[in-house]
């Protein structure tokens, strides 16, 4: 049985716990806002991801012992003064994802991003339920990366349709990086130091 099949069960549990992330995100601050620039699908916010080198870094939290994750919110961008978003629909297409990293839609059971997983996720705006397009992906892993060697998720925006029905060109490549929170690094360092001490003691006669 593949590692992903068992790990997927763990991620399902983390999705149930992810409500704690969403509770503090009602203002949508920090979400990835998707829209259009000059006929091309694009990330509009946050600025760090919207501009070259199109890369942003997230800090992983420990969800459960040995399981680390972070909530990433997604939404359609609406210009100030408009009563509708820039997009009607768009597909987030996975281009690359680090081994042992997966992404699951909050509240769902099966990951959609990860090695050997579907790797595509389509958001569609419903005028009768405008908030439905605002969703969350929980990126999670059972592997603790380092600051210098983060886990990576790269994606493009494809098959996008603007509000006026215009078919948009595909976006540039965007990169999300995932690193551990400092507390996790300290705990890991303390654990490694403990192992070294035990080995040294064990080597003494």
Give the model confidence (pLDDT) of 82-129 as tens digits. Answer: 999 999 999 999 999 999 999 999 888 889 999 999 999 999 999 999
Give the pLDDT of residue 189: 44
Task: Name every residue whose Cβ is closer than 8 Å to that of residue 95 and which is 6 or more positions away in sequence.
Answer: 154, 155, 156, 173
Q: Does pLDDT of 81 surpass 80?
A: yes
Taking only the tens place, the pLDDT of each residue in 150-182 is 999 999 999 999 999 999 999 999 999 999 987
E strand intervals along 77-185: 87-97, 101-105, 120-124, 135-141, 151-162, 174-180
Pairwise CA distance, residues 87 & 80, whole Å: 14
Angle (CA) 20-26-32 rounded to 5° is 95
Whether the Cβ atoms of residue 55 and residue 48 lie closer than 8 Å to each other:
yes
Q: Mean pLDDT across the stretch 40-44?
A: 98
Peptide bond into 46 cis (omega under 30): yes
Rounded mean pLDDT of the chain? Answer: 83
Average pLDDT for residues 71-75, to the nearest whole number?
96
Is residue 132 very low, low, confident or very high in pLDDT (cuts 50, 70, 90)?
very high
92: which DSSP letter? E
CB 22 within 8 A of CB 136: yes
pTM of the model: 0.81
Q: Where are the alpha helices (DSSP H) in the chain?
A: 3-17, 19-22, 47-50, 182-203
Q: How confident is the model at residue 42 (pLDDT cuts 50, 70, 90)?
A: very high
Q: Among residues of the chain, what percentage have pLDDT more than 90?
A: 67
> Phi/psi of residue 43, each to 5°?
-80, 130
pLDDT at residue 12 in the model: 42
User: Which band of pLDDT confidence, cut at 50, 70 and 90, is reported for residue 29?
Assistant: low
The tokens describing 99, both together, are 């081994």
- Residue of 100, 98, 86, 79 lying closest to 42 (CA atoms): 86
Q: Is 70 exceeded by the pLDDT of residue 203? A: no
Confidence at residue 91, expressed as pLDDT on a 0 to 100 scale: 98
**E strand spans, 25-143:** 32-37, 40-45, 55-64, 67-76, 87-97, 101-105, 120-124, 135-141
Q: How confident is the model at residue 201 (pLDDT cuts 50, 70, 90)?
A: low
What confidence tens digit (pLDDT) does each residue in 177-187 have? Answer: 999 987 554 44
Evaluate whether 133 touches 125 at the Cβ level (below 8 Å).
Answer: yes
* Distance, CA of 44 to CA of 148 (rounded, Å): 27
At 28 the pLDDT is 59
């Amino acid at each position: 049985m593949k590692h992903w099949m068992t790990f997927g069960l763990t991620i399902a549990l983390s999705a149930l716990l992810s409500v704690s992330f969403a509770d503090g995100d009602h203002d949508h601050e920090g979400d990835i806002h998707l829209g259009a620039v000059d006929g091309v699908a694009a990330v509009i916010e946050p600025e760090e991801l919207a501009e070259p080198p199109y890369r942003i870094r997230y800090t992983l939290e420990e969800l459960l012992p040995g399981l680390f994750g972070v909530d990433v919110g997604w939404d359609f961008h609406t210009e100030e003064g408009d009563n509708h978003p820039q997009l009607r629909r768009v597909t987030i297409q996975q281009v690359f994802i680090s081994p042992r990293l997966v992404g699951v839609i909050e509240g769902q059971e099966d990951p959609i991003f990860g090695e050997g997983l579907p790797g595509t996720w389509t958001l569609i705006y419903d005028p009768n339920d405008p908030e439905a397009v605002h969703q969350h992906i929980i990126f999670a892993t059972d592997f603790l990366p380092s600051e210098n060697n983060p886990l990576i998720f790269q994606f493009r925006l494809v098959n996008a349709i603007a509000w006026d029905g215009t078919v948009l060109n595909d976006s540039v490549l965007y990169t999300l990086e995932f690193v551990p929170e400092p507390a996790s690094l300290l705990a890991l360092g303390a654990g490694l130091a403990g192992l070294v001490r035990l080995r040294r003691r064990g080597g003494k006669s």
